[in-house]
Amino acid sequence: MFFNKAIIFCAIASASALSVRAAPPPGPVLTAEVVYHTFIKASPFLIDSTTTQVWTQSPSQTASATN
């Protein structure tokens, strides 16, 4: 009786393992330079600063933050 239940459990476990899909491949890594104006206390008083934004493009939609 126990052996039959073990066989049935293994069959169900293997069937559910086969139905699991592989993870999608990772998306491309994107970079962008962001330029913004900054005030300083010395001449020329207004300069351009840059930061680099790096992110990975995702194939699925995600909820955006709302402020």
For each of the chain's 67 residues, which pLDDT tens digit applies? Answer: 566 777 777 677 766 655 666 666 777 889 999 999 999 999 989 999 999 999 887 766 666 666 5
Whether this model's pTM surpasses 0.85:
no
Map residue 50 onto helix, strand or coil.
strand
The pLDDT of residue 56 is 84
Collapsing DSSP to helix, strand or coil, 2 comes out as helix
Task: Characterise 45 by phi-psi region: left (phi > 0), alpha (psi -120 to 50), beta (else).
Answer: left
pLDDT of residue 47: 93
Q: Is 15 helix (H, G, I), strand (E, B) or coil?
A: helix
**Among residues 59, 65, 67, which one has the least CA distance to residue 25?**
59
